[in-house]
Every structure is written in C-alpha cells, then in structure tokens.
Amino acid sequence: MPLVTPFQTSFGTETRRDVLLLRVVTPEAEGWGECVAMSAPLYSAEYVDGAADVLRRFLIPALPAHADAHAVGRALRPFKGHRMAKTALEAAVLDAGLRAAGLSLGSFLGASADRVSAGVSIGIVDSIPELLDVVAGYLEEGYVRIKLKIKPGWDVAPVRAVRERFGLDVPLQVDANAAYTLADAGHLARLDEFGLLLIEQPLADDDIVQHARLATRLTTPICLDESIESAEHAAAAISLGACSVVNIKPGRVGGYLEARRIHDLCRAHGVAAWCGGMLETGIGRAANVALAALPGFSLPGDLSGSRRYFTTDITPPFELRDGHLTVPTGPGIGVEPIPEILDEVTTAIEWIPL
C-alpha cells in the first residue's frame, strides 16, 4: 500500500507498506490481525517476510485447538522474539473470540473512554520551511499533538523553528529512534528550552542504563519505545529511572494482553503512557484506538486518521473529529476489510489449516 507521502526517520525512508494480515476462521466467527513489521529489519530485527515465515513454520502450528488469546500467549512463549508476528496472531484469535461473544475489544481491555485524542508523527523533511508548512497543515486538521522525528543534524533548529512559529501552547515532542549516544547529552540538553512533552528513544534500544544516566542531565522527560519489549523491561526501566514516559506499541511488546500489562504497570507507578503507531491500516488502527482508550493512557498517541498515511484504507476510514478518533464499539475490533479494496491490494493468500 503506497503512503500518501514518504515517511523519513533517522533509520530510513518508507514510501509504502507491505502489509501482512492474518485472518483466523473458526466455526463461530472470523477475526483479523495486522503484523506491523516493516519490509526491512530497520526499526527492529523483524521484517514482514520473516514474520510470514515464522508464523507459517512455527507459531501457527503451535496453537492448540480452540485457543483463546491467553492460550495463544502460552503456546507461543517457547519461541524467542518475533513479537510482531505473535501480536498479529494473538490479535486475530482475540478478534474472532470477541466477535463470537459479541464483545468489543475496548470493553474487553477495560477502555474508559469512547474517543481518544490523536497526535501526528511528522517525518524528517528537506527544509525547515517545508516542515513549518507540514505542521501548519496538521494543526489545521485538528491534531492535538505534534511529534517531530529528529536525528543528528536535524534537531535543535527544526524544533526551535516550530516553537517560534506556533508557540509554546502546541503540545510538541520529538523522536530520535535511537540515533544518539550518551556523548550527545550536552547537545540534547539544548532541547530543554523548548518545553517539550518528551524526547522519545534518544539512545540505543538495548541500553537502558545509559538512558538512566541521560535522564539526570536533561529536564525534558525521556520516553522509551524500542527499549521496552515487555512488562519486565518496563519495570526495569522505571526502577532505574531510565524513563518517565513509556510508548506502548502492541506489535513491539508481543500483543494487546502484554500491552495492557505494561499500561497497568505504568499506571501503578505514576508513569505516563501513550499508544504508539507503526503506519497501520484500519485493522491495526482499530485495535490501537481501543487500547488507547484505557484510563492510563494520559498523553495523545500516534493515532492519526487513515488519510494521514493512505489515500484509500482497506477498512472504512478513521476520521479525525475535533482532534479525536472514535473508539469502535462493534464486536471484536469493530471493523473489517472492504472486500473489493482488499482484493485490489492483495498480492498473495495462503491458508494454513490446524
């Protein structure tokens, strides 16, 4: 699926998404799950073809008969890693089970809101004037929070320009995608003057200790993304003082049940949390919006409307209304692919019987 505009981060540029969907068919219902792995192993070690392979060879064959979402987690636990593939499988089984029960995902997870505030993530662009035009456009659409991707050489100047143009009242945060080292602490401290909500994943994903050291040198709150792959990782990071905010992405942590556990942990420790995104179609977006409606998600998430990324989504589009997205209330994730649109973009189908 081609993206509306190229999306550039510190590790690369995406112009399209190769989407892996799972459809679980049971005697009672059907369910859908989306794998958020990228085409290449840049954000994490996972990539979409690898996810398809591990699902086909190991994860799906490991499922017990009549598995619910909890049984999926137990069956997949022996397999190391591959959290994005596991999330897609858990989500599809969970969706099917909830549809059969007539229960929405939001209700199942414990959602306390019927709509969630929407932020937008803005990739690295060619110039500051272009960036200012992009930010202005999204603010006019109604997004309540702006996130800027940054990297060495594209950080202080663009942030200063956005603050000077739009003022301190605009909630603003930055995301480095692990592009810096602790040696850059002095430079990153220059961002403190701009009143940012947070700086997301400034250092390497496998170095929580260095993040704890960096936190003592910044007044801007540190948010961890790639470093948090489980509730255990979140607990360690919070204990070490490595972060005061957590970005919870279900695909990164292995599923919506684990995402809820991390949410509960953060809420218990007074740590702010928000729901991240991975350029999902309406399938993954519906599930994320339901998750983001839990009471501990205190900051706007990367939950943009469908047209932020796709000219035509594969589900009825999510529309921004007054800076918010409506939480689906139908059974399961509350949306389904539109068959004719799905057919247009489908390149391969494989059925795996249990």
State the catalytic residues. Answer: 149, 249
Give CA–CA dist 143/140, Å, rounded: 8
Nearest residue to 218 via CA among 188, 240, 175:
188
Sequence-separated (6 or more) residues with CB below 8 Å from residue 52: 20, 35
Q: Which amino acid type is present at position 348?
A: A
In the DSSP assignment, the letter for residue 55 is: I
Give CA–CA dist 353/344, Å, rounded: 25
Q: Which amino acid type is present at position 63?
A: L
Dihedral angle of Cα 48, 53, 59, 60, to the nearest 10 degrees: 100
- Other beta carbons within 10 angstroms of residue 295's beta carbon come to 11
In the DSSP assignment, the letter for residue 299 is: S
